[in-house]
Amino acid sequence: MEIYKDYLNLIKDAVKKDSSSQSESKHFFSKADRINDLITLNSRYSDYQIAPSLSKLAGTLHKDLDFNQKLGLHPSFKQLKSNGKTEEHYIVSVFIDIKGSTNLFKRFDKETIHVIVEAILKAGIHTALIFNGYVHRLQGDGMFLYFGGKEIDKKSAVNQALQMVSVYSYFIQNDLKEYFKSKGIEGIFVRSGIDLGKDEDVLWAKSGIGEISEVTTCSLHTSLASKMQSHAKSNGVVVGDFVVDEIEIEELFNPVCKRTRNDNDRYIFQIPEKQFRYTQYDFDWEKFLKRQRFIALDRFGLPVLKFQDKTLEHKELLEPIARESKPYFSNEK
């Protein structure tokens, strides 16, 4: 897919300006040059703008992005920061961790690495916003996201979380991996964990003091999403039982123990005395991605964005213009 082309180009431009290229270009990069490069590259797209290539996906899905989010302040529960109350409400927790980024220090200077990591994070943040995700926290080169809230049902929230992670994982596994491989850098990948906590299993509350605080969840399933991420394979996604229950397409999920051939990996969490055993599953995000209505397959069976112009969905808007171009317009179905 070409939707991350601009983010990848930003990374490529950063690499071209890296100090390691001095011997090739015979151009001396002073400290001031590097700082100016950093500012220029990081400001290529404003804080309230997604790159044009990814905006095609937003346009296809007819999404207006909410750039006014604040870390640690989910809009459905932000009032809890000031009123001191708690609330039970479902949420889908998503942990995405980018692995192997420390390998970049073997090749590039810190200014270049900063631009690379920022481009990867921005691509993830923008993708999350397109699928109605809320960015709760940034952790180094990883992200903790929530999907869902008071205006959306559980099934839709789960589906959007899976869509976001699938699209983003494709970028990391293919576009990003191939470019870094061409530069002799191996081992850059992403691992993700996703779980659904139901109303009775999630407590929203303020955590911390004053402005040194956030509105967050106390939930087994938030904790399990983080733990599942660590059980995923390279560019893999692991999800919990409750996620599988909402999707109900068995061929997309396999117990992790089937991959590891270790039955101890079947359950991510157990309370034997309560007969509670919670299974973790490998999620086939590639198969899921190819099923999405906004995705088509090219002649090689690879996913491509199925671009839809919003105006084409409203024939009545085109009718006055088309009538002037007979016989190309017809009311016949």
Q: What percent of the chain has pLDDT over 70?
A: 89
Provide the domain limits for residue 105: 5-304
The tens place of each residue's pLDDT in the chain, 333 residues long, gives 899 999 999 999 999 888 776 544 445 556 677 777 778 888 888 888 999 999 999 999 999 899 999 999 999 999 999 999 999 999 999 999 999 888 899 889 898 999 999 999 999 999 999 999 999 999 888 999 999 999 999 999 999 999 999 999 999 999 999 999 898 888 889 999 999 999 999 999 999 999 999 999 999 999 999 999 999 999 999 999 999 999 989 899 999 999 999 999 999 999 999 999 999 999 999 999 999 999 999 999 999 998 654 433 443 334 444 444 444 444 444
The pLDDT of residue 81? 95
What's the CATH code of the domain at 105? 3.30.70.1230
The answer to whether residue 92 sits within a structural domain is: yes
The answer to whether residue 309 sits within a structural domain is: no
The answer to whether residue 230 sits within a structural domain is: yes
The answer to whether residue 314 sits within a structural domain is: no
Residue-wise pLDDT tens digits, 263-283: 999 999 999 999 999 999 999
Using an 8 Å Cβ cutoff, are 225 and 145 in contact? no
Distance of CA 14 to the CA centre of its chain: 22
The pLDDT of residue 22? 52
> pTM of the full predicted structure?
0.88
3-state secondary structure of 35: helix
The pLDDT of residue 19? 76
The answer to whether residue 70 sits within a structural domain is: yes
The answer to whether residue 310 sits within a structural domain is: no
Task: Report which of 280, 299, 91, 96 is spatially closest to residue 197, judged by C-alpha positions.
Answer: 91
The pLDDT of residue 41? 85
Residue-wise pLDDT tens digits, 83-128: 999 999 999 999 999 998 888 998 898 989 999 999 999 999 999 9
The answer to whether residue 323 sits within a structural domain is: no
CA dist 213 and 210 (Å) reads: 6
Q: What is the DSSP letter of 87?
A: E
**Domains of the chain: total:** 1
The answer to whether residue 125 sits within a structural domain is: yes
Extended strands (E) in the chain: 87-88, 91-99, 133-139, 142-147, 189-197, 203-209, 212-218, 237-240, 253-255, 267-271, 276-283, 295-297, 303-305
The pLDDT of residue 248? 84
